[in-house]
Chain A
Amino acid sequence: MARYRARRVVAGMAAALLITAVAACGNDDAAGGGGTEAASADDGATLTLWTRAATESVSKAYAEKYNATHKNQVKVTAYPNEEYPAKLASAAGAKSLPDLFASDVVFAPQYASQGLWVDVTDRFGALDVKDKVAPAHVKAGTWEGKVYAVPHTIDMSVMLYNKDLYTKAGLDPEKPPTTLKEFAEHARKIDKLGGDVNGTYFGGNCGGCVEFTFWPSVWAAGGGVLDAEGNNAKIDSKEMAEVFALYRSLYDEGVAAPASKDEAGPTWLGALQNGKVGIAPGPSVWLGLIEEKGVKMGVAPIPGPDGGESTFVGGDAIGIGATSTKAGQAWDFLAWTMSDEAQIEVIAKNKGVPTRTDLASNKYSSTDPRVVLINSLMEKGQTPYARNFNASFNDPQSPWLQTVRGALFGDAASSLSTGNADITKSLQQS
Chain B
Amino acid sequence: MNRSRLGWSVTSGALAILFLFPLLWSGWASFRTGSGFGLENYDRLFTSDNGIRPMHVVNSIVVSALTVGGTLFVATLGGYAFGRFRFPGRDVLFLITLAILMVPYATILIALYVLLGWLGLEDTLIGLSLVLIMFQLPFSIFMMRNSFEAVPRELEESAQMDGCASVGTLVRIMLPAVRPGLITVGLFAFLTSWSEFFAPLILLNSTDKFTTTLAVVNMRTASHGSIDYAALEAGVVFMAVPCLILFAFMQRSYVRGFTSGAIKG
Contact = CB atoms under 8 A, between A and B. Distances in A.
A–B touching in complex (CB under 8 Å): yes
Interface of A: 1-2, 5-6, 19-20, 23-24, 48, 50, 53-54, 56-57, 60, 75-83, 86-87, 89-91, 93-96, 98, 265-270, 273, 282-283, 286, 289
Given A23-B114, A81-B221, A266 B122 contact: no
B121 to A, nearest CB: 12
A89 B226 contact: no
Contact of A5 (B88, B118, B205, B224): B88
Given A77-B207, A83-B201, A91-B113, A6 B222 contact: no
B54 interface: no
B50 interface: yes
Contact of A80 (B49, B88, B217, B226): B217
Interface in B223-243: 223-227
Given A54-B223, A93-B114, A283-B224, A77 B89 contact: no
Contacts of B202: 86-87, 90
Given A83-B201, A94-B114, A56 B50 contact: yes
Contacts of B198: 83
B108 to A, nearest CB: 11
Contacts of A75: 206-207
A289 B88 contact: no
Interface in B18-62: 49-50
A56 B221 CA distance: 11
A292 B189 CA distance: 44
Count chain B CB atoms within 10 A of each CB in A19, A76, A77 and give the residue with the most.
A77
B89 A54 contact: no
A304 B237 CA distance: 48
Contact of B49 (A1, A56, A96, A289): A56
10 contacts: A2-B89, A6-B89, A53-B218, A54-B221, A57-B49, A75-B206, A80-B220, A98-B205, A269-B223, A269-B226
Given A54-B223, A269-B225, A89 B110 contact: yes
B117 interface: yes
Contact of B109 (A24, A60, A90, A269): A90
A83 B106 CA distance: 12
Contacts of B110: 89-90, 93-94
A54 B207 contact: no
A175 B68 CA distance: 65
B222 A56 contact: yes
Given A2-B89, A90-B110, A96 B220 contact: no
A78 B223 contact: no
Interface in B171-226: 198, 201-202, 205-207, 214, 217-218, 220-226
A80 B223 CA distance: 10
Interface of B: 49-50, 88-89, 109-111, 113-115, 117-118, 122, 198, 201-202, 205-207, 214, 217-218, 220-227
B113 A268 contact: no
Contacts of A24: 114
Contacts of A2: 88-89
Contacts of A93: 110, 113-114
Contacts of A53: 50, 218, 221-222
Contacts of A94: 110, 113-114, 117, 122
A24 B115 CA distance: 11
Contact of A78 (B50, B113, B117): B50
Contacts of A1: 88
Contact of B226 (A79, A83, A86, A266): A266
Contacts of B217: 80, 83
Contacts of B111: 20
Given A1-B88, A87-B201, A96 B225 contact: no
A315 to B, nearest CB: 11
A80 B201 contact: yes
A289 B223 contact: yes
B114 A20 contact: yes
Q: Which 5 A-B pairs have the closest CB atoms?
A: A2-B88, A269-B225, A269-B226, A268-B225, A266-B227
Contacts of A98: 205
Given A2-B88, A89-B110, A98-B205, A79 B218 contact: yes
B95 to A, nearest CB: 14
Given A2-B89, A5-B88, A90-B202, A54 B114 contact: no
Contact of A79 (B113, B117, B122, B201): B201
A77 B222 contact: no
Contacts of A60: 49
Contacts of B88: 1-2, 5
B33 to A, nearest CB: 15
A2 B90 CA distance: 10
Contacts of B221: 53-54, 80-82
Nearest to A209: B225
B242 to A, nearest CB: 23
Contacts of B220: 80
B22 to A, nearest CB: 20
Given A53-B50, A266-B225, A283-B225, 18 more contacts: A6-B89, A19-B118, A20-B114, A23-B114, A53-B218, A54-B224, A80-B218, A86-B201, A90-B109, A90-B110, A90-B113, A94-B113, A94-B122, A96-B113, A98-B205, A268-B225, A270-B225, A289-B223
A87 B226 CA distance: 22
A73 B118 CA distance: 27
A2 B92 CA distance: 11
Contacts of B113: 90-91, 93-94, 96
Contacts of A76: 207
B52 to A, nearest CB: 14
Given A24-B114, A96-B122, A78 B207 contact: yes
Contacts of A19: 118
Given A54-B221, A94-B117, A77 B201 contact: no
B130 to A, nearest CB: 16
A2 to B, nearest CB: 3
A161 to B, nearest CB: 17
